[in-house]
């Protein structure tokens, strides 16, 4: 059941992964059908969890009220604004069908004892890696030509973030394996999946995903150094080091005469070193123009904004700002921004204080992945992993190891 819930959570990433692996075409109808079915599965599972517990906790009431409030506010904006084109309708439906179930999934997982989430994450990580490897092997000679990536029906940007998500999952797996004295062969296997995922990020040329993957690596190293600063298993360190070096050498030999890596790195860092400052806005896919229009709208209604989800209706050049803070200001003004900052800081602080526990490390990794994506990419209502990770960190209790391996 936990695997099914995680499949819902990662459906945006897993659907193209399956398509690529099986050679299928992307179908909006199939994707929406799967989303609706997943939504139903989550709701039914939540109701069953409530029925089995036969008790209503304060946090359950809070989660239910919060979910209902989000859905009502989104529907209110839909009724207020006249623009009802297909794209807006789709975004509003996605926002409701993703946000609410993601919150409920977090509740189910954190309130179910002895959940072995590790096995589910391990299976997803291997499955995604096989699909990424297949694409690399079939397209290694010219993957960046005209940015013509078609990975199961999605473009280079989505492909890069799928790879980055696999990196976030991979670092959790290694951390769990080391904390629970798992076989070194498993550590070796997971490091191999990480190298494949990093290669995919680089070859995609995705700027945001490359930045995310670098930050995830830094966080992992800092966490490892903090946990093992006194007593580190030198044997594991040696295996990890040799594996990284070995896979890097093999990868370099495999792509020795291939300029794709250089092209990918150049594009990935192309937003840096602008003439007028650190950022080269000409290489940010038009973000500066989007930000300017967002800021203009914000200055007109800075206190209360335009309504939750209103950015989908009112933005003149894009359907959202491609920045979480600008979208929050547009939706709810300064008041909503302050509330959001309080929640984000509170959740981040709680996770960082307990990051040495594998469960907190997993959820913080997912939060970091989604939050960094929201700084330059998606809208916060369209990112289920963001809502899941925040809710999970908020709900986790220190006195109970809900997730196996939480030491």
Strand segments, DSSP code E, in 31-176 are none
Mean pLDDT score, 77-96:
79
What pLDDT is recorded for position 387? 96
Q: Look at the chain and report how many structural domains it folds into.
A: 1
Residue 154 lies in a domain: yes
Which residues, other chains included, contact 291 with Cβ-Cβ below 8 Å and sequence gap of 6+? 321, 322, 323, 326
Residue 124 lies in a domain: yes
Residue 202 lies in a domain: yes
What pLDDT is recorded for position 257? 47
What pLDDT is recorded for position 215? 92
Q: What percentage of residues in the chain have a pLDDT greater than 90?
A: 39
Mean pLDDT score, 298-324:
91
Residue 17 lies in a domain: no
On whether the CB atoms of residues 8 and 139 are closer than 8 A, the answer is no
Q: Greater confidence, 205 or 45?
A: 45
What pLDDT is recorded for position 406? 44
Mean pLDDT score, 26-44:
88
Taking the C-alpha atoms of residue 245 and residue 234, their distance in angstroms, rounded to an integer, is 16
Packing angle, helices 184-204 and 117-139, rounded to 10: 50
64-72 own/partner pairs: CB under 8 Å, 24+ apart? 66/103, 67/99, 67/100, 67/103, 67/104, 70/96, 70/99, 70/100, 70/308, 71/96, 71/99, 71/100
H helix or E strand, kind and range, residue 277: strand 277-279
Res. 143: pLDDT tops 60: no
On whether the CB atoms of residues 164 and 385 are closer than 8 A, the answer is no
Q: Greater confidence, 136 or 294?
A: 294
Which pLDDT band, with edges at 50, 70 and 90, does 238 fall under?
Answer: low
Res. 160: pLDDT tops 80: yes
Residue 244 lies in a domain: yes
Dihedral pair phi/psi, residue 354, rounded to 5°: -120, 20
Dihedral pair phi/psi, residue 18, rounded to 5°: -65, -45
Res. 147: pLDDT tops 60: no
Packing angle, helices 184-204 and 207-227, rounded to 10: 150
What pLDDT is recorded for position 252? 57
Residue 383 lies in a domain: no
Q: Out of 91-100, 220-229, 305-314, pick the least confident.
A: 220-229
What pLDDT is recorded for position 272? 67
Q: Out of 217-226, 294-303, 349-358, pick the least confident.
A: 217-226
Res. 385: pLDDT tops 90: yes
pLDDT digits 0-9 by tens, 346-372: 999 999 999 888 889 999 999 999 999
For 151, the domain range is: 117-280
Which pLDDT band, with edges at 50, 70 and 90, does 18 fall under?
Answer: very high
What pLDDT is recorded for position 380? 94
What pLDDT is recorded for position 248? 60
Res. 114: pLDDT tops 70: no
pLDDT digits 0-9 by tens, 261-287: 666 666 666 666 655 556 766 666 678
Q: Greater confidence, 144 or 189?
A: 189
DSSP states of 379-403 = -GGG-HHHHHHHHHHHH--TT---B
Mean pLDDT of the chain: 83
Q: Out of 66-75, 225-234, 314-323, 335-344, pick the least confident.
A: 225-234
Res. 254: pLDDT tops 60: no
Q: Count the alpha carbons within 13 Å of 215 in the hemisphere toward its beta carbon.
A: 18
Mean pLDDT score, 184-208:
87
What pLDDT is recorded for position 226? 78
Taking the C-alpha atoms of residue 194 and residue 188, their distance in angstroms, rounded to an integer, is 10
Region of residue 378 (phi > 0: left; psi between -120 and 50: alpha; otherwise: beta): beta
What pLDDT is recorded for position 398? 60
Which pLDDT band, with edges at 50, 70 and 90, does 49 fall under?
Answer: confident
On whether the CB atoms of residues 233 and 224 are closer than 8 A, the answer is no
Which pLDDT band, with edges at 50, 70 and 90, does 403 fall under?
Answer: low
Tell me which residue of 267, 260, 266 sits closest to 136, measured CA to CA.
260
What pLDDT is recorded for position 208? 85
Residue 319 lies in a domain: no
Q: Greater confidence, 228 or 98?
A: 98
Residue 221 lies in a domain: yes
Dihedral pair phi/psi, residue 277, rounded to 5°: 160, -165
Q: Greater confidence, 287 or 330?
A: 330
């Amino acid at each position: 059941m936990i695997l099914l819930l995680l499949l819902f959570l990662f459906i945006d990433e897993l659907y193209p992964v399956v398509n690529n692996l099986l050679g299928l075409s992307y179908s909006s109808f199939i994707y929406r059908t799967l989303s609706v079915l997943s939504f139903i599965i989550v709701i039914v599972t939540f109701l069953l969890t409530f029925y089995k517990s036969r008790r209503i906790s304060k946090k359950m009431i809070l989660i239910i009220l919060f979910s209902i409030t989000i859905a009502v506010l989104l529907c209110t904006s839909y009724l207020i604004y006249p623009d009802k084109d297909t794209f807006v309708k789709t975004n509003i439906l996605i926002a409701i069908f993703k946000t609410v179930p993601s919150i409920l999934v977090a509740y189910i997982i954190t309130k179910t004892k002895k959940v072995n989430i590790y096995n589910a994450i391990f299976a997803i990580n291997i499955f995604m890696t096989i699909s990424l490897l297949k694409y690399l092997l079939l397209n290694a000679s010219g993957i960046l030509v005209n940015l013509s990536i078609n990975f199961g029906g999605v473009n280079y940007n989505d492909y890069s973030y799928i790879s980055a998500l696999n990196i976030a999952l991979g670092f959790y797996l290694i951390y769990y394996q080391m904390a629970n004295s798992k076989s070194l062969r498993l550590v070796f296997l997971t490091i191999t999946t990480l190298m494949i995922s990093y290669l995919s990020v680089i070859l995609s040329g995705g700027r945001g995903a490359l930045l995310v993957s670098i930050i995830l690596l830094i966080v992992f190293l800092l966490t490892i150094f903090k946990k093992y600063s006194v007593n580190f298993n030198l044997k594991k360190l040696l295996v990890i080091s040799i594996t990284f070096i070995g896979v890097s050498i093999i990868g370099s030999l495999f792509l020795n005469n291939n300029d794709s890596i250089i092209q990918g790195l150049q594009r990935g860092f192309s937003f840096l070193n602008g003439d007028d400052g650190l950022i080269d806005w000409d290489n940010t896919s038009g973000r500066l123009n989007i930000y300017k229009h967002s800021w203009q709208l914000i200055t007109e209604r800075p206190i209360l904004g335009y309504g939750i989800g209103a950015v989908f209706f009112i933005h003149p050049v894009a359907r959202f700002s491609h920045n979480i803070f600008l979208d929050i200001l547009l939706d709810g003004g300064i008041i909503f921004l302050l509330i959001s900052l309080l929640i984000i800081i509170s959740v981040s602080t709680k996770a960082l204080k307990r990051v040495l526990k594998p469960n907190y490390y997993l959820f913080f990794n997912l939060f970091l992945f989604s939050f960094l994506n929201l700084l330059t990419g998606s809208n916060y209502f369209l990112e289920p992993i963001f809502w899941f990770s925040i809710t999970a960190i908020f709900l986790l209790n220190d006195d109970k190891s809900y997730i196996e391996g939480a030491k």
